[in-house]
Amino acid sequence: MPLTHQEKLIGTSAQCALWRIEEPEEWFLQQLQLSPVEHAELESIKGWRRMEWLAVRQLVAELVPGAGRSVLVKDEHGKPHLHNSSLHVSISHSHHLAAAMVGETIVGIDIQKIVEKIGRLAPRFLSAAELDFIPPVQHRIEQLHVCWCAKEALYKAYGKREIDFCVHLLLDPFVYSPSGGEFKGRVIKGDFVAEFELRYVLVEGCMLVTAVTPILRANSLPFVADWPVQT
């Protein structure tokens, strides 16, 4: 089964997991038993995006076991929620990997394949102060992906539109480690102000970042990646 990893995030109420997409579409359809509304949504999706759509729902079902599968629905802002559940959920996908995260507090997750062109795009999502703490040579591309995924995860956690990534989503300085690491970020938009623990790891050529509001800050431990990381 291509559930590549499942992890409880220490010091939080959240858990996350990755799924390597290898099965045919028919396998997912048999496992999920989609509702008529879900079938209608899937029919509007074409190509590989159908597999990503199915895989993240299978992954959420693995993270939230029970007698019946919790259906993933979206609110008026497009943020996913679990029908008839108080759990928070976030999803992402990139190429062959699907990612999902659930927790009792607000969560966000993002995964992106490493690409060189991110260097040209960095000023669009990082402030001048954030660009200053990223070294110009070693691991620059990887650290830029951490920052991009972190801001995407924060944006998903916030869950509403009209966000300026440079102004409303803020990252603390951090030193990139090839084995993974953690740092803090904040969302400050109007009356919404929240701090998040951000954790990152490079896996199968993709950068994965999770964002969660901690509930046991005093008991939080340093992040040690036990994913199949790349150096």
Q: Which residue has the higher pLDDT, 193 or 228?
A: 193
Residue 9 lies in a domain: yes
Residue 225 lies in a domain: no
Q: Say which residues have a Cβ less than 8 Å from residue 148's Cβ, sequence separation at least 6.
A: 110, 112, 118, 121, 122, 125, 207
pLDDT > 90 in the chain, percent: 69
CATH number of the domain that residue 202 is part of: 3.90.470.20
Split into its structural domains, the chain has a count of 1
Residue labelled with tokens 């691991």: 139
Residue 66 lies in a domain: yes
Sign of CA dihedral 11, 160, 165, 49: positive
Residue 147 lies in a domain: yes
What is the span of the domain harbouring residue 61? 3-216
Residue 175 is predicted with a pLDDT of 95
Q: Say which residues have a Cβ less than 8 Å from residue 71's Cβ, sequence separation at least 6.
A: 35, 37, 38, 82, 83
Residue 123 lies in a domain: yes
Rounded Cα distance between 198 and 81, Å, is: 21
Residue 226 lies in a domain: no
**pLDDT tens digits for 58-100?**
999 988 877 577 888 888 888 999 988 889 999 999 989 999 9
Residue 120 has pLDDT above 70, yes or no: yes
Residue 225 has pLDDT above 90, yes or no: no
Mean pLDDT of the 147-171 span: 96
Q: Which two tokens stand for residue 200?
A: 């990152």
pLDDT range class, residue 215, cuts 50, 70, 90: low
Residue 106 lies in a domain: yes
